[in-house]
Structure 1
Amino acid sequence: MPYRVGQTALWVVVEEAEPVVGESRRRFDASASAGVPAHVTVLVPFLAPDRLDDDVLGELAELFGAHAPFAVRFAECRRFPDVLYLAPEPDAPFRELTEAVMARWPEVPPYGDRFAKVVPHLTVAHRQSGGVYDGVAAALAGRLPLRARVAAVELWASGGSRWRRRARFPLHGR
């Protein structure tokens, strides 16, 4: 799946999810083969690469640094029409991160303003048949809940066929 060269994203990478969903993602989500880790999106697309100067990186560090680390639990699979995903509980801290970025950079709405409501989620399978989703959900049911600690937001950029991490912003708030 080709991505737009230079497209950027702000993600909460969930390393704890890889042992549980990694194989399913590699088989049923093309983004995994492009280097996209298991994650919950904060904002995509973000700013163009030529706007990511030291000032913007400093603002991101300050913005995310004001938020506290938090625990999250993924207990069930849910679906959008073309996505099987793990739902984070609670999802409010993810929404707060997104809202903070949107307040600072309103010119970059989540998902290019394609959806009326942003639903925090960790994609497991994308653009598959319903039968695939049912099978993956059944296979994951016995491996959930998955627990993780969110301590940072990462900035990633696409080179066209691969995504690479550009920066990591720790959460420091109380």
Structure 2
Amino acid sequence: MTGDSTSRFQAGRTGLIVKVPEAEPVVRAWRERFDPSARAGVPAHITVLFPFLGESRMDERVRTALTDVLGRQQAFDLRFENCGRFPGVLYLAPEPELELRRLTEVIADHWPEAPPYGGQFTQIVPHLTVADGLDDAVLDEIEAGLLGKLPFTSRVSSVDLMVYDGTKWQEGASFPLLE
């Protein structure tokens, strides 16, 4: 859910994420200061698909389809040992990326009306945002502080639906992957 500021979050908007709890001790302080999604209640994560369907469309049929689609995807491990950048953004780069891209693709294929990032970008680049909207000098400082805390690993065993209620992002459901 990178790139949104709290003023651009809309009540009823949803997103699908992979939580990365192992990243919290590494990135929490930076995210709380420099990532609007953290201030709005989103934990350290990698976005799978944002925006997804509006909350009004999240009926039992959609939830069952998500359970089916994601339940056929194999759980996997990620390693975080490097940072990456977009303009004004510092992120942790997960490895390998293939499984994360596959999660996005299978969901986007099933719901073509919900392209990744609203169709704004042509390439899917899985990432865990640490800081957003800063100049390179500040990002350099943050990155220098992060590198001493890497590497770490994380197990991806579910995809979580997040729903914005107008004030905070709340977990709406969790969909397990195949173990």
Normalised TM-score (structure 1): 0.97
| Cα offset, 1:82, TM superposition | 2.1
> What is residue 54 of structure 1 aligned with on the other side?
60
> What is residue 3 of structure 2 aligned with on the other side?
none
- The count of residues paired between Structure 1 and Structure 2 equals 173
Cα offsets for 1:43-69 (capped at 9, x unmatched): 000001111100100110111110111
Taking the aligned partners of 2:29 and 2:100, their CA distance within structure 1 comes to: 25
Aligned residue type for 2:141 = G
Identify the match of residue 167 of structure 2 among 161, 165, 168.
161
CA RMSD in angstroms comes to 0.9
Give the 5 Å matches for 1:17-166: 17-166=23-172
Taking the aligned partners of 2:137 and 2:152, their CA distance within structure 1 comes to: 23
Gaps of 5+ in 1: none
Aligned residue type for 1:137 = E
Aligned residue type for 1:126 = D
Taking the aligned partners of 2:110 and 2:57, their CA distance within structure 1 comes to: 14
3-state secondary structure, aligned to 2:32? helix
| Cα offset, 1:130, TM superposition | 1.2
Q: Say whether residues 1:16 and 2:16 are aligned partners.
A: no
Aligned residue type for 1:78 = G
Taking the aligned partners of 1:30 and 1:102, their CA distance within structure 2 comes to: 25
| Cα offset, 1:153, TM superposition | 0.1
Taking the aligned partners of 1:24 and 1:11, their CA distance within structure 2 comes to: 19
Large movers: runs of 4+ above 4 Å:
none
Gaps of 5+ in 2: 1-5
Cα offsets for 1:3-33 (capped at 9, x unmatched): 1111100000111110111111111112111
Taking the aligned partners of 1:25 and 1:93, their CA distance within structure 2 comes to: 25
